[in-house]
C-alpha cells in the first residue's frame, strides 16, 4: 500500500469537468447558487431545488465535490477570496470585464484599505458594529475587514453588502458565511437605491438564538425577498457615510 498522501482536490478542476458539457459561465453561476443555498442552513431550500432541477445528477455530485474542495483550500488560505479570483480568471470573459467594469481587487490592496478605513481602537466596546459595502463584488473587502478583527469583534459586525451582479451576491454570501462574518447580502444598485432581493447569512440572523431557532425566525422566512422600506431608509445614510469616508 502506498504511503504517499493523496493530493487535495482542486475545485477549479472539478468545475472544469462540468464545463466540458456546459458553458463555463453557466457552470459557475450554478455552482455559486447551489453553494450559497447549501450554506444557508435550510433557509434557502426552495431556491436550491429550483436551481438543482436544471442539472443532472452527475453534475450535482460534482458541484458538491467542488464545494468540499473549495472549503478545504480556504482553510489553508485564510480570508482569501479564492472564488472571486476564479470568477475573474475563468468564468468572466475579458469583454465582460470591460463592459461591466468588473475587476478583482488583490488581497494586499484589500488588506491595506481595511487598515486605513477600519480603526479598531475607535470602535465601540459593545453593541453591533455596522459596515456597508455598496459594491461588494465577491466580498474581498469584507473578508479583509473580517480578518482585521479579532474573533470577538468579528461576531459583532453587521455588514450590509450590495451588488448589482447576482453572481457576486452568491459569492459574497459564500465567503462571508464560511468565514463567520455576519452579513446581509443585497442584490441591487446602490446609486438609485434599487433593490431586488436580499439574503442574510446564518451568522447575521438572530445570532443570540440557537441555530435551530434562528432558521424559524421571520427574517429566515423572508430570504430572497426585497428589503422592506424601513431597511431601505436605514441603508441611505450608511451609503452617504461610505462616500464621505472615501473622499
| Angle of helix 11-19 versus helix 57-76 axis, rounded to 10 | 160
228 and 151 both lie in a single domain: yes
Q: Is the dihedral of CA 229, 234, 238, 240 positive or negative?
A: positive
Please give the average per-residue pLDDT across 26-44, as a whole number: 97
20 and 48 both lie in a single domain: yes
Percent pLDDT > 90 in the chain is 69
Lookup result for grid cell 431597511: 231
52 and 143 both lie in a single domain: no
143 and 172 both lie in a single domain: yes
Please give the average per-residue pLDDT across 101-118, as a whole number: 81
135 and 218 both lie in a single domain: yes
Q: Residue 1 domain-assigned?
A: no
Q: Residue 224 domain-assigned?
A: yes
pLDDT attached to residue 237: 81
Q: Kind and range of the H or E element at 66?
A: helix 57-76
> 145-148: long-range contacts (C-beta < 8 A, 24 or more apart)?
145/114, 145/118, 145/181, 146/79, 146/176, 146/179, 146/180, 146/181, 147/78, 147/79, 147/111, 147/114, 148/111, 148/114, 148/115, 148/118, 148/120
Q: What is the pLDDT of residues 80-89, one digit of tens each?
A: 999 998 888 8
> Which residues are CB-contacts of 76 (< 8 A; sequence separation ≥ 6)?
none
Q: Residue 2 domain-assigned?
A: no
194 and 164 both lie in a single domain: yes
For the chain, the domain total comes to 2
CA 193, CA 191: separation in Å to the nearest integer?
5
> Is the pLDDT reported for residue 33 higher than 90?
yes
Q: Is the dihedral of CA 96, 97, 99, 100 positive or negative?
A: positive
Q: Which of 66, 100, 134 is the last residue of a domain?
A: 100
Confidence of residue 171 (pLDDT cuts 50, 70, 90): very high
25 and 134 both lie in a single domain: no
pLDDT attached to residue 115: 85
Higher pLDDT, 125 or 184: 184
Q: What is the pLDDT of residues 206-242, one digit of tens each?
A: 999 999 999 999 999 999 999 999 999 988 887 766 6
Most confident of 15-29, 53-67, 96-110, 229-243: 53-67
First to last CA, the chain: 63
User: What mean pLDDT value characterizes the chain?
Assistant: 88
> Is the pLDDT reported for residue 104 higher than 50?
yes
208 and 116 both lie in a single domain: yes
> Is the pLDDT reported for residue 202 higher than 70?
yes
Q: Kind and range of the H or E element at 190?
A: none
pLDDT attached to residue 198: 98
173 and 213 both lie in a single domain: yes
Q: Kind and range of the H or E element at 44?
A: none
Q: Which domain holds residue 77?
A: 11-100
Q: Residue 115 domain-assigned?
A: yes
Confidence of residue 123 (pLDDT cuts 50, 70, 90): confident
Q: Residue 206 corresponds to which cell in the numbers above?
A: 438572530
Q: Kind and range of the H or E element at 34?
A: helix 24-38
pLDDT attached to residue 93: 53
Q: Which of 53, 73, 100 is the last residue of a domain?
A: 100
Q: Could you write out the DSSP letters of every residue in 92-122?
A: S-HHHHHHHT--PPPHHHHHHHHHHH--GGG
- Cα dihedral 214/218/223/227 (nearest 10): -130
CA atoms within 13 A on the CB side of 160: 21
> Is the pLDDT reported for residue 21 higher than 70?
yes
> Is the pLDDT reported for residue 172 higher than 70?
yes
> Which residues are CB-contacts of 37 (< 8 A; sequence separation ≥ 6)?
44, 45, 47, 48, 51
DSSP, collapsed to helix, strand or coil, labels residue 160 as strand
Q: Residue 80 domain-assigned?
A: yes
Amino acid at each position: 500500500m502506498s504511503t504517499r498522501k493523496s493530493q487535495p482536490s482542486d475545485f477549479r478542476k472539478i468545475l472544469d469537468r462540468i464545463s466540458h458539457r456546459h458553458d463555463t459561465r453557466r457552470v459557475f453561476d450554478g455552482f455559486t447558487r447551489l453553494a450559497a443555498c447549501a450554506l444557508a442552513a435550510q433557509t434557502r431550500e426552495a431556491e436550491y431545488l429550483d436551481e438543482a432541477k436544471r442539472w443532472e445528477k452527475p453534475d450535482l455530485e460534482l458541484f458538491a465535490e467542488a464545494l468540499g474542495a473549495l472549503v478545504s483550500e480556504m482553510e489553508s488560505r485564510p480570508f482569501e477570496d479564492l472564488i472571486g479570483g476564479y470568477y475573474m480568471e475563468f468564468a468572466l470573459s475579458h469583454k465582460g470585464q470591460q463592459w461591466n467594469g468588473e475587476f478583482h481587487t488583490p488581497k494586499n490592496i484589500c488588506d491595506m484599505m481595511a487598515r486605513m478605513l477600519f480603526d479598531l481602537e475607535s470602535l465601540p466596546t459593545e453593541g453591533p458594529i455596522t459596515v456597508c459595502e455598496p459594491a461588494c463584488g465577491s466580498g474581498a473587502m469584507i473578508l479583509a475587514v473580517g480578518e482585521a478583527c479579532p474573533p470577538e469583534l468579528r461576531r459583532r459586525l453587521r455588514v450590509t453588502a450590495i451588488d448589482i451582479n447576482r453572481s457576486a451576491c452568491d459569492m459574497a454570501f459564500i465567503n462571508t458565511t464560511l468565514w463567520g462574518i455576519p452579513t446581509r447580502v443585497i442584490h441591487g444598485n446602490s446609486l438609485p437605491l434599487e433593490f431586488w432581493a436580499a439574503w442574510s447569512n446564518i451568522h447575521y440572523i438572530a445570532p443570540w438564538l440557537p441555530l435551530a431557532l434562528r432558521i424559524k425566525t421571520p427574517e429566515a422566512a423572508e430570504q430572497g425577498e426585497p428589503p422592506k422600506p424601513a431597511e431601505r431608509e436605514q441603508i441611505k445614510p450608511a451609503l452617504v457615510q461610505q462616500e464621505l469616508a472615501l473622499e
